[in-house]
């Protein structure tokens, strides 16, 4: 017997007891208890009649290195991450959208260097790209760009690279992220070091902002 | 579960005993709490290595769920009742009507035993959390420890004030009454503090903020000021007033049903009216506070908002609509019965408006309960052209639901105004003009709410949420704010054409008061589940992941069964508290002088609702 069926039987029994009390018991306090039991039993039965969905914790998504043979594979994985684990599409649109709370990412892969995109994802408050300054009526629900490599999203470096590959491909750019870049920890560290983008300050469209305070975890 | 080092020989047999014991009844687990707490806190090394402990049989999460729910409901009760009592005391002081003072005292008397029970469940909850979730509690303690001290201090102040307020009641009459009222104010002030401090811990779990380095006090203060703290504070404060009012109403309803003399019936009928009035008074602004809370949730994290409103919890809001709908119907029904039975002759005058209000309420409830997407087979979905019904789908969206919830508030408010005006004849020269203006304003407000609701379909969601929905709320608030003083002025000079008759209500009035209280308790349980489930698999959203076996939110049916159980247990506890608190009175009570009479319709089966016997005479 399933859990729902068992609970339904219990709910019906509770209602039945309530009905019996109301029909045959004269004591007013007990009648009130019977009435409350009927109400609660009915509530449970109604709740059991709607779709029963439990919220299960998500499986930990892993980056399947073996499946990546070409930059296009990387972009394909990046697209999945963009619309799922990365939660990018919750705020960003690809193309104009009035309801989007954050900048339109159409063509972003062509506009920005991958190194800068990487830093925007991992240190979002380090520099603000002035082209994304919002004009007009201020948005009531401004979303603050989260650190994408930290909880609750927590993308790995490889996953971030794949998202960058997707953004480049979507913008019609050749994918500059190489498959080798994501292959191993040693390369990963090297790549991360090379992405420190020391030369970013030379780009005129960047504005330095205050460093964010650290998150205490 | 790990045991380490020298503790093993001591704790192992104890834990084995506990495990065997739990097999025979999880409720008995409570008896072992001290042992559990010692096992948890007895050795730091062990606490550091253990993330979770489980309770065989019932499961740690379920046990915490039951105890936490009882503690929270009792806390709502002991925070709501002082507000109720204080308001009644002020009314009695201002109107010089001793029955209000008596009512306030009657409920303050409950507080001493209710506080003890609440603290008992709080202590059990604390031991359970320390024992079963040591890692989470260590984190929260590290973050919030200074606020724990503030909480303890507030408890001391609250207890001392309650003693003075209760034991000084008779001594502080006459010219000392103002000081007694001041004590009542302090009592509620400290109670507010006791509520908002732990709220910060719970809201931090749902909406943690960046906490920079600093002293322990600075860090605790920064963590307390998280985005949902004040919305939850306000929402809970209002909800506690509602809970207090409706529980008083339910108590009066039960006592009314049990009453044997006319005096008793009149007294408890009147008490039921006051309880229902305060419950409805709090209920009207409650949806606005809920709306603010949801706005903040969306603003903090859109994903969390979507989980609540459009994700696996979407159906929960259909249940919420049903409960609120029944509550609105119950509260209005009680008002309408009051017009019919307490004000002879008013029934025929208000029959048509009551019928119109009932129809509007039922229609609104129907819209509110329309799901956003339907459960349909593939074939059915194909025929409909999707999971949205071609006609009903229109009513399943937020624009429609916001509109009908505002209309239901308007109708309930008008029920109250109608009840206020029944049996009175306005004598002021400007009464006709005032009534015409109020009528016009009401019609314009109703139309404006509907127009904004329909318009909301054709604008982006962000415009609807930020402007249209807010405008709807402001329109309804405007009506409430203008009508209340205007009606008060009209009634001040009005001539009473029919005296209010107490104790004539049929037995279904008592049941409707009980029903309202059950609905409020279920609603609080349901929304507590929603708030907790919105964190999904996180203890602290985005910061500390739940890695236990219970890192999932159960389906609605299972959760509803728990809510029902919790509601039933809570009702029994409250009944016990009332019984204990009135034991002394019964012993002291003089033999009843009044004639023993039955409630109208008492002989009819309760399920049939009963009906007043036309021939029945009270004397």
Using CA atoms, how far apart are residues A172 and A186, in angstroms rounded to an integer? 30
Q: For chain A, positions 84-123, list CB contacts with chain B under 8 A.
A: 87, 90-91, 98-99, 101
**Residue B380 falls within a domain, yes or no?**
no
Contact B556 A50 (CB under 8 A): yes
**Is residue B139 exposed (0-12), middle (13-18) or buried (19+ Cβ within 10 Å)?**
middle
Check if the beta carbon of residue A212 is closer than 8 Å to that of residue A145.
no
Mutation for testing the B interface, residue in A9, A57, A102, A214 having most B CBs under 10 Å? A57
Contact A40 B319 (CB under 8 A): no
**Is residue A106 exposed (0-12), middle (13-18) or buried (19+ Cβ within 10 Å)?**
middle
Task: Check whether residue B296 and residue B350 sit in a common domain.
Answer: no
Can you tell me the mean pLDDT for A144-148?
77
The confidence score (pLDDT) of residue B18 equals: 41
Task: Check whether residue B30 and residue B43 sit in a common domain.
Answer: yes
Is the CA virtual torsion B609, B318, B202, B128 positive or negative? Answer: positive
**Is residue A53 exposed (0-12), middle (13-18) or buried (19+ Cβ within 10 Å)?**
middle
Write out the two tokens for B249: 């109403």
Contact B563 A43 (CB under 8 A): yes
The pLDDT tens digits of the residues spanning A98-132 come to 556 677 888 888 888 888 899 989 888 777 665 55
The confidence score (pLDDT) of residue B370 equals: 80
Helix (H) or strand (E) holding A80: helix A71-83
Return the residue matching tokens 């469209």. A205
Give strand ranges (E) for B392-504. Answer: 424-425, 495-496
User: Minimal CA–CA distance to B389: which of B379, B376, B401, B402?
Assistant: B376
Q: For chain A, positions 161-200, list CB contacts with chain B under 8 A.
A: none
Task: Check whether residue B200 and residue B125 sit in a common domain.
Answer: yes
Contact B258 A29 (CB under 8 A): yes
Residue A54 backbone class (left: φ over 0; alpha: ψ -120 to 50; beta: rest): beta
Cis peptide before A61 (omega within 30 of 0): no
Using DSSP's 3-state secondary structure scheme, residue B553 falls into: strand
Mutation for testing the B interface, residue in A13, A22, A55 having most B CBs under 10 Å? A55
**What is the extent of the structural domain holding B185?**
59-300+557-583
Residues of A in contact with B561 (CB under 8 A): 7, 10-11, 44, 47-48
Residues of A in contact with B312 (CB under 8 A): 53-55
User: Minimal CA–CA distance to B509: which of B354, B346, B334, B340?
Assistant: B334
Q: Return the residue of A nearest to B467 by Cα.
A: A140
User: pLDDT: is B454 or A179 the higher one?
Assistant: B454
Residues of A in contact with B570 (CB under 8 A): none
User: Domain count of chain B?
Assistant: 3
The confidence score (pLDDT) of residue B13 equals: 45
**Residue B45 falls within a domain, yes or no?**
yes
N residues, chain A: 217
Task: Check whether residue B257 and residue B238 sit in a common domain.
Answer: yes
A68 interfaces chain B, CB cutoff of 8 Å = no
Give phi and psi for A198, each to the nearest 5. Answer: -65, -25
The confidence score (pLDDT) of residue A51 equals: 83
The confidence score (pLDDT) of residue B590 equals: 56
Q: What ipTM goes with this model?
A: 0.81
Residues of B in contact with A139 (CB under 8 A): 462
Residues of B in contact with A54 (CB under 8 A): 312, 552-555
- Comparing CB atoms, the residue among A14, A22, A90 nearest residue B607 is A22
- Alpha-carbon Rg for chain B, nearest whole angstrom, is 26
Task: Check whether residue B163 and residue B197 sit in a common domain.
Answer: yes
Residue B159's alpha-carbon distances to B197, B310, B576, B605, in angstroms, are 16, 43, 22, 45
Q: What angle do CA B566, B190, B573 make, to 5 degrees?
A: 20
In chain B, which residues have pLDDT < 50?
Answer: 1-45, 47, 592, 601-619
**Residue B526 falls within a domain, yes or no?**
no
Contact A98 B462 (CB under 8 A): yes
Q: Return the residue of B nearest to A47 by Cα.
A: B557
How far away is chain B from the Cα of A110, in angstroms, using its nearest Cα?
Answer: 28
Check if the beta carbon of residue B454 is closer than 8 Å to that of residue B472.
no
Q: Return the residue of B nearest to A9 by Cα.
A: B561
**Residue B153 falls within a domain, yes or no?**
yes
A137 interfaces chain B, CB cutoff of 8 Å = no
Task: Check whether residue B91 and residue B194 sit in a common domain.
Answer: yes
Using CA atoms, how far apart are residues A81 and A182, in angstroms rounded to an integer? 15
- Comparing CB atoms, the residue among B213, B299, B558 nearest residue A3 is B558
The confidence score (pLDDT) of residue B159 equals: 92
Contact B511 A29 (CB under 8 A): no
The confidence score (pLDDT) of residue B386 equals: 59
Give phi and psi for A93, each to the nearest 5. Answer: -115, 165
**Residue B30 falls within a domain, yes or no?**
yes
Task: Check whether residue B16 and residue B64 sit in a common domain.
Answer: no
Residues of A in contact with B607 (CB under 8 A): 19, 22-23
Task: Check whether residue B207 and residue B350 sit in a common domain.
Answer: no
The confidence score (pLDDT) of residue B249 equals: 93
The confidence score (pLDDT) of residue B89 equals: 93
Using CA atoms, how far apart are residues B85 and B240, in angstroms rounded to an integer? 13
CB neighbours of residue A69 within 10 Å: 9
Mutation for testing the B interface, residue in A23, A56, A58, A152 having most B CBs under 10 Å? A152
Contact B213 A41 (CB under 8 A): no
Q: What angle do CA B291, A93, A115 make, to 5 degrees?
A: 120
Check if the beta carbon of residue A157 is closer than 8 Å to that of residue A188.
yes
Write out the two tokens for B2: 């790990």
Contact B552 A56 (CB under 8 A): yes
**Residue B541 falls within a domain, yes or no?**
no
Write out the two tokens for B389: 């019904």
pTM for this entry: 0.76
User: End-to-end CA distance of chain A, in Å?
Assistant: 44
The confidence score (pLDDT) of residue B343 equals: 87
The confidence score (pLDDT) of residue B6 equals: 36
The confidence score (pLDDT) of residue B38 equals: 42
Task: Check whether residue B84 and residue B140 sit in a common domain.
Answer: yes
A212 interfaces chain B, CB cutoff of 8 Å = yes
Q: Return the residue of A nearest to B260 by Cα.
A: A28
Task: Check whether residue B41 and residue B67 sit in a common domain.
Answer: no
Contacts 24+ apart (CB under 8 A), A86-90: A86/A148, A86/A153, A86/A155, A86/A159, A86/A163, A87/A153, A87/B303, A88/A163, A90/B302, A90/B303, A90/B306
- Comparing CB atoms, the residue among B302, B553, B556 nearest residue A143 is B302
Q: Return the residue of B nearest to A87 by Cα.
A: B303
A44 interfaces chain B, CB cutoff of 8 Å = yes
Residues of B in contact with A55 (CB under 8 A): 307, 311-313, 533, 536-537, 552-553
Q: Return the residue of A nearest to B560 by Cα.
A: A44
The confidence score (pLDDT) of residue B15 equals: 44
**Residue B596 falls within a domain, yes or no?**
no
**Residue B144 falls within a domain, yes or no?**
yes
Task: Check whether residue B123 and residue B23 sit in a common domain.
Answer: no
Task: Check whether residue B289 and residue B342 sit in a common domain.
Answer: no
Could you tell me whether strands A127-129 and B424-425 are parallel, antiparallel, or unpaired per DSSP bridges? unpaired
| Residue that is last in its domain, among B447, B478, B496 | B496
Mutation for testing the A interface, residue in B557, B582, B601, B610 having most A CBs under 10 Å? B557
Using DSSP's 3-state secondary structure scheme, residue B90 falls into: helix
The confidence score (pLDDT) of residue A209 equals: 33
């Amino acid at each position: 017997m399933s859990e729902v069926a068992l609970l339904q039987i219990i709910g019906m029994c509770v209602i039945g007891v309530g009905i019996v009390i109301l029909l045959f018991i004269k004591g007013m306090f007990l009648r009130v208890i019977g009435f409350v039991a009927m109400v609660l039993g009915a509530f449970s039965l109604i709740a059991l009649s709607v779709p029963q969905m439990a919220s299960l914790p998500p499986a930990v998504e892993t980056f399947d290195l073996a499946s990546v043979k070409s930059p296009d594979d990387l972009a394909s994985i990046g697209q999945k991450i963009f619309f799922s684990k990365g939660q990018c599409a919750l705020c960003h649109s690809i193309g104009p959208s009035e309801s989007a709370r954050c900048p339109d990412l159409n063509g972003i892969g062509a506009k920005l260097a991958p190194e800068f995109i990487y830093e925007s994802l991992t240190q979002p408050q380090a520099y603000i790209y002035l082209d994304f300054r919002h004009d007009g009526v201020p948005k009531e629900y401004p979303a603050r760009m989260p650190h994408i490599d930290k909880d609750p999203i927590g993308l790995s470096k490889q996953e971030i690279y794949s998202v960058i590959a997707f953004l480049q491909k979507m913008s019609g750019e050749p994918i500059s992220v190489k498959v080798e870049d994501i292959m191993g920890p040693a390369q990963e560290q090297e790549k991360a070091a090379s992405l420190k983008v020391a030369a970013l300050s030379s780009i005129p469209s960047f504005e330095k902002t205050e460093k964010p305070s650290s998150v205490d975890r | 579960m790990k045991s380490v080092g020298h503790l093993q020989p001591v704790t192992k047999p104890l834990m084995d005993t506990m495990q065997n014991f739990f097999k025979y009844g999880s409720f008995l687990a409570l008896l072992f709490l001290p042992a559990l707490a010692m096992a948890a806190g007895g050795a730091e090394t062990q606490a550091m290595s253990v993330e979770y402990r489980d309770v065989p049989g019932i499961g740690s999460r379920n046990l915490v769920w039951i105890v936490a729910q009882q503690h929270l409901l009792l806390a709502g009760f002991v925070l709501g009742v002082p507000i109720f009592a204080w308001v009644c005391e002020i009314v009695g002081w201002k109107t010089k009507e001793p029955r209000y003072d008596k009512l306030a005292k009657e409920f303050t008397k409950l507080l001493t035993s209710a506080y003890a029970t609440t603290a008992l469940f709080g202590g059990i909850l604390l031991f359970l959390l320390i024992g079963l979730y040591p890692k989470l509690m260590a984190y929260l303690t590290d973050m919030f420890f200074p606020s724990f001290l503030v909480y303890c201090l507030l408890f001391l102040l609250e207890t001392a004030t309650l003693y003075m307020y209760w034991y000084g009641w008779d001594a502080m009459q006459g010219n000392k009454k103002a000081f007694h009222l001041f004590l009542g104010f302090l009592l509620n002030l400290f109670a507010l503090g006791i509520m908002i401090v732990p709220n910060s811990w719970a809201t931090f779990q749902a909406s943690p903020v960046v906490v920079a380095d600093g002293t322990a006090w600075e860090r605790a203060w920064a963590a307390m000021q998280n985005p949902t703290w004040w919305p939850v504070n306000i929402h809970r404060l209002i909800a506690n007033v509602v809970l207090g009012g409706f529980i008083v109403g339910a108590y009066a309803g039960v006592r009314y049903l049990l009453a044997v003399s006319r005096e008793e019936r009149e007294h408890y009928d009147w008490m039921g009216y006051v309880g229902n009035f305060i419950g409805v008074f709090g209920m009207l602004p409650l949806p606005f506070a809920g709306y603010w809370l949801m706005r903040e949730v969306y603003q903090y994290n859109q994903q969390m908002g979507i989980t609540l409103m459009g994700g696996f919890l979407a159906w929960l809001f259909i249940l919420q609509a049903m409960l609120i709908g029944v509550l609105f119907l119950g509260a209005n029904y009680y008002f309408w019965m009051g017009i019919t039975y307490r004000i002879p002759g008013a029934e025929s005058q208000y029959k048509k408006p009551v019928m119109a209000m009932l129809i509007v309420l039922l229609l609104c409830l129907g819209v509110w309960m329309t799901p956003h997407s339907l459960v349909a087979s593939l074939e059915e979905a194909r025929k409909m052209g999707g999971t949205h019904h071609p006609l009903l789908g229109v009513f399943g969206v937020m624009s429609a639901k916001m509109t009908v919830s505002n209309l239901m508030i308007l109708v309930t408010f008008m029920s109250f105004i109608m009840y206020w005006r029944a049996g009175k004849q306005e004598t002021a020269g400007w009464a006709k003009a005032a009534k015409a203006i109020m009528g016009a304003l009401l019609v314009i407000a109703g139309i404006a709410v509907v127009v904004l609701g329909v318009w909301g379909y054709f604008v982006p969601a962000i415009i609807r949420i930020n402007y249209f929905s807010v405008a709807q709320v402001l329109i309804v608030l405007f009506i409430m704010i203008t009508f209340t003083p205007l009606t008060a002025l009209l009634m001040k000079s009005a001539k009473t054409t029919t005296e209010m008759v107490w104790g004539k209500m049929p037995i279904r009035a008592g049941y409707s008061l009980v029903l309202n209280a059950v609905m409020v308790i279920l609603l609080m349980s349901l929304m507590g589940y929603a708030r907790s489930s919105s964190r999904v698999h996180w203890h602290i959203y985005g910061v500390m992941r739940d890695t236990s076996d219970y890192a999932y939110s159960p389906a609605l049916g299972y959760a509803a069964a728990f809510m029902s159980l919790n509601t039933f247990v809570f009702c029994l506890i409250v009944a016990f508290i009332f019984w204990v608190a009135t034991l002394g009175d019964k012993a002291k009570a003089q033999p009843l002088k009044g004639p023993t009479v039955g409630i109208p319709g008492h002989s009819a089966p309760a399920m049939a609702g009963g009906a007043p016997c036309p021939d029945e005479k009270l004397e």
